[in-house]
Structure 1
Amino acid sequence: MVTGVVAHREPVVDDIEREAEQRWHPAVRVLFRFGFVVVGVGMAGVWLLHALLRTLGVPQEMVSEVAEWTALHPLTDWIGTQIFDVRIDYTVTGSGDTAAKWVAVLTLLLVAVPVTVSWTVLDRHRPNYTRLYEWFRLLLRFSLASALLLYGMIKVLPTQMSFNLERLVEPFGHMSPMAVLWAQSSLSEPYEMALGAAEVVAALLLILPVTAGLGSVLAVIVALQVLLMNLAFDVPVKLFALQLFLYATVLAAPDVIRVVRTLLGHAVEARTSTSLLPTVRGNRILSAAQVLLGVWLLGAMTVEAYDGWHTYGNARPKSPLYGIWNVTEYSIAGEQVPALVDFREPPSNSGMPSANERFRRIIFDIPQGMTVQRLDDSLVSFPARIDTDQHTITLSKDTAHQWKLATFSYARPQSDRLILDGVLGGRPVRMQLDQVDLGQFPAVSRGFHWVQATPYFR
């Protein structure tokens, strides 16, 4: 019995002895301490904490409050105001490149310096951090996997780049580089789903220790592509994309080096890794825990993506008046307004066209919104409430419809014609709208062709 136990534990004992024999260069030890504080704790650890809080159903308000403190809230505020003369605002805007996030990274780097110095002084006799390095890699693995699962699933279930009708009539030159990227990606669900599938596969490979090496190499390719798109099309997630690429590079570096050495004809020994825990049983339990955590993250991210897909993704509900409608007749108090553009009098900055400003098109896409295209081709959207029983359309400044801008009654004498009557800017307005046949847009009607006599560049 005793002999069996000793033999069972022997490989881990060898790991401990081998770890004690290694001695890292002093500069490597200092660099590791700094990297562990910045990348491990301050970046990957914080992201994984936020991801787990979301999956556990913690209210968004509490997650936001935790995010402020993990961004070193008081010190970041002081650095922002005193050094950059910028008021730090932690409001969630959908952008990952806000001033608050950039200043928070600088704060983290500054804080990491004295922490690293203190750690170096107090732990200067330690020969290496072989075991802590493995824990560091484990933290990077699951932080990267959780992010890839999140961004991958909202592409597999097309949500991140959802199709919007207004893109079909918005002039190309009016679109920002990010809007161009989103528009071209949303036109092909298979393309968007393939991008997401690559991210999900990389994440699943990262979860299992035995396939983590392959997953990290695939993650480098995926993260590099995301980073290049964010940089090339000015997508405001550059900072986080850089972090994901850094995680993937750190994880893949040992395997990439081994592959390169093999291709150059050098002999490569079997890779050895240090056990995370001192007992075989403990390591088995830890491996099982990694699988369970991976399954939990996959399930939670899938549910979140599925909800988003049906809320604002391509599976979202459509407006009861869904379509693009040309304004063929427009009158104010019974007097026809011609379809002319006067660029000497640009639209007001309030965002809401006046009654005197004739609309060119009205676009109904989502049930709770309406988009107007002006005669100069600019677009402006409003919260809208369409009552199909009363046949009314209410436009407001807010989604709760407490600040109403206009109310119209509508009639649909034909399936492709709408008549709107109402008050806009205090004046009576009547519009006749004719529905546009979406088949006239090659972007959605062209389809796929194996055989083409000539390139189709219409």
Structure 2
Amino acid sequence: MKLNSFGEELLKYVILFFFIYSVLYIFPFPLNSFTPLYFFERIFHQNTWHVIVPWFAETFLNNPDANHVQNTGSGDTLYDFVRCLLIGILSFILCTVIFLLFRSKINSKRLIYIGGQYIRYYLIFVLLTYGIIKVFKLQFGEPYLIRLVTPFGEMSPMGLAWNYMGFSKTYTVFAGWSETIAAILLIFKRTRTLGAVLSFGVMLNVFMMNISYDIPVKQFSLHLCVFSAFLILIDGKRLLNVFILNRDVSKIEYVKPFLKKWKNHTLQIAKFLFIIVFVVLKLISTIRRQDMYGDLGPKHELYGIYELNEFQLNHKKRPARLDDSLQFKRLIFDRPQLMYLQKMNDEGVYYVAETDTVAQKIYLKERDSSKVGFFDYKMKPESNVYEFEGIFKGDSIYFKTERKGREDFLLNNRGFHWISKYPFNR
């Protein structure tokens, strides 16, 4: 076999492998694109990967811990990485068998076209999904009040990154529009390469952020980078000629999947209807969720941070000591029906806090609904001073606090300045 022929055969093998891997990784898309069809994805995974991956890990990797755990928020579980390994092995086996049996019939150009179309619409789906929730600032909400009093060194790398993004609405919306515009450019044939370039840049930034701040979506964002790079490589020769070699390029003759015009028109209409319906449903669900969480979500009736400056336990004034495990340091009311109680030794715990604003009472419970106590509260006129008195775990409690809102912190009241005489780096 000549060297050129060997290279062509190797390229054909690589293209076939990548095609099979991409389909196995992405499927059951597009059947999971709409909420009413989510059950199909669940059933598919439950009867395939959720069974095969743990068996493979225990049998061949001697690791019984690769079971799928739902709703962890992590895309980098052991299950996810073993699944990727298994997809790679299955792709290699299928690719080798198909290549040996049907090598002469493999049409690389058709594989690139079909695979490119499948990957392109998958990227459109992912970019629109994440772009829209960033534009409406649902993925990165403003930092919770507890974060404003958490020492910088006590934050996890992911917590730091999440609050860094959530602090700035401008930057978060910009990131969302970058993903959304990349998706829009990918929709149209004339701009799909530009969309792929933008998608690669955006996803590379996301991947590096995930790597740098230990955000557990590393393998997923890496796949999106690779998929974007594949779409760029489809037009790689033309891009090389235009931007590097300064050569002329000929007009692209777009491939039509069918010979009859009406079939091609029908396919185009179906594609656009799919995208339009998806976008409309995504916008509707996102707008509805704004009232549930995020910056516009509901807040506690006493929303704020209450710093203690006087504390009495069983009618005895207790001096402030940092090692005191009984004295309160601050109360934080953020999300509805929740109160975070922090002690002087910085230990803290969440309680269910049912508030009656008419009677000015707070009823405290543990997460298991067992009662903890209650507080009566009152506010001094024209001040931020609140007094609390009641029973907490069988003890009589009285304490005086000063309320601080989000706007009382430098991070939120510094504002934006075009002109700065000195860098304000504090």
Q: TM-score, normalised by structure 1?
A: 0.83
Deviations 1:126-169 (A, max 9, x none): 15132232121111111111111111111111111111222221
- 1:115 corresponds to: 94
8 A contact 1:324–1:361 mirrored in 2: yes
Q: Provide the identity percentage.
A: 28
Q: Residue 78 of structure 1: which of 18, 33, 55 is its match?
A: 55
CA-CA distance at 1:24 after TM superposition: 9.2
Instruction: Give the equivalent residue in structure 1 for 2:10.
Output: 27
Question: What is the alpha-carbon distance in structure 2 between the residues aligned to residue 64 and residue 57 of structure 1?
Answer: 9
Is 2:76 the counterpart of 1:101? no
Show the counterpart of 2:419.
Answer: 451
Larger mean CA deviation between 208-217 and 228-237 belongs to 208-217
Distance 1:312 1:119, change over 3 A: same
Q: Do 1:367 and 1:386's aligned partners in 2 also have CA atoms closer than 8 Å?
A: no
- Measured in 2, the distance between the counterparts of 1:252 and 1:28 equals 17
1:138 corresponds to which letter in structure 2?
Answer: Q
1:361/1:372 contact within 8 Å kept: yes
Counterpart pick for 1:296 among 277, 284, 287: 277
The alpha-carbon deviation at position 328 of structure 1 amounts to 2.0
Gaps of 5+ in 2: 1-5
Question: Does residue 45 of the first structure (1) align with residue 13 of the second (2)?
Answer: no
Q: Superposition RMSD on alpha carbons, in Å?
A: 2.5
Shift of 1:57: 6.1
Residue 378 of structure 2 corresponds to residue 412 of structure 1: yes
Contact 1:392/1:407 (<8 A) preserved: no
Q: Give the Cα separation in 2 of the matches to 1:127 and 1:64.
A: 33
Please, which of 301, 322, 333 is the counterpart of residue 314 of structure 2?
333
Does residue 1:182 correspond to 2:182, yes or no?
A: no
Query: 1:106-143 CA deviation, whole Å, 9 max, x = no partner?
Result: 12122222222332244222151322321211111111
Q: Which amino acid aligns with 1:79?
A: F
Identify the residue that residue 199 of structure 1 maps to in structure 2.
Answer: 179
Q: Deviation string for 1:13-48 (max 9, x for gaps)?
A: xxxxxxxxxx99222222222212211x22223354
Q: Post-superposition shift, 1:451?
A: 1.4
Compute the displacement of 1:438 (Å): 4.2
Counterpart for residue 3 of structure 2: none
Whether the 8 Å CA contact 2:378–2:388 is kept in 1: the answer is no
Instruction: Work out whether 1:149 is the aligned partner of 2:150.
Output: no
Describe the SS at the equivalent of 1:25: helix
Aligned equivalents of 2:215 and 2:129: distance in 1? Answer: 17
Query: Could you tell me which residue of structure 1 aligns to residue 215 of structure 2?
Result: 235
Question: Secondary structure at 1:311's aligned position in 2?
Answer: coil
Q: 1:48 to 1:397 in 2, by over 3 A?
A: farther
Match of residue 342 from structure 2: 373
User: Are the counterparts in 2 of residues 397 and 403 from structure 1 also a CA contact under 8 Å?
Assistant: yes
Query: Partners of 2:7 and 2:108 in 1: how far apart?
Result: 8
The answer to whether the 8 Å contact 1:130/1:274 transfers is: no
Pick from 224, 241, 251 the counterpart of residue 244 of structure 1.
224
Seen in structure 2, the aligned counterparts of structure 1 residues 102 and 425 have a Cα distance that, compared at 3 Å, is: farther
2: CA distance between counterparts of 1:86 and 1:147? 31
Report the AA paired with residue 444 of structure 1. N
Contact 2:50–2:68 (8 Å) recurs in 1: no
Q: Note closer, same or farther for the CA distance 1:132–1:390 as it changes in structure 2 (3 Å cut).
A: farther
Note the residue ranges of structure 1 that are not aligned, 5 or more in a row. Answer: 1-22, 346-355
Corresponding residue for residue 137 of structure 2: 158
Q: What is the alpha-carbon distance in structure 2 between the residues aligned to residue 397 and residue 425 of structure 1?
A: 11
Tell me, yes or no, if structure 1 residue 221 matches structure 2 residue 201.
yes
Q: What is the rounded CA distance, in whole Å, between the counterparts of 1:322 and 1:225 in structure 2?
A: 35
CA displacement 1:223-260 (0-9 Å, x = unmatched): 11111111111111111111111111111223344223
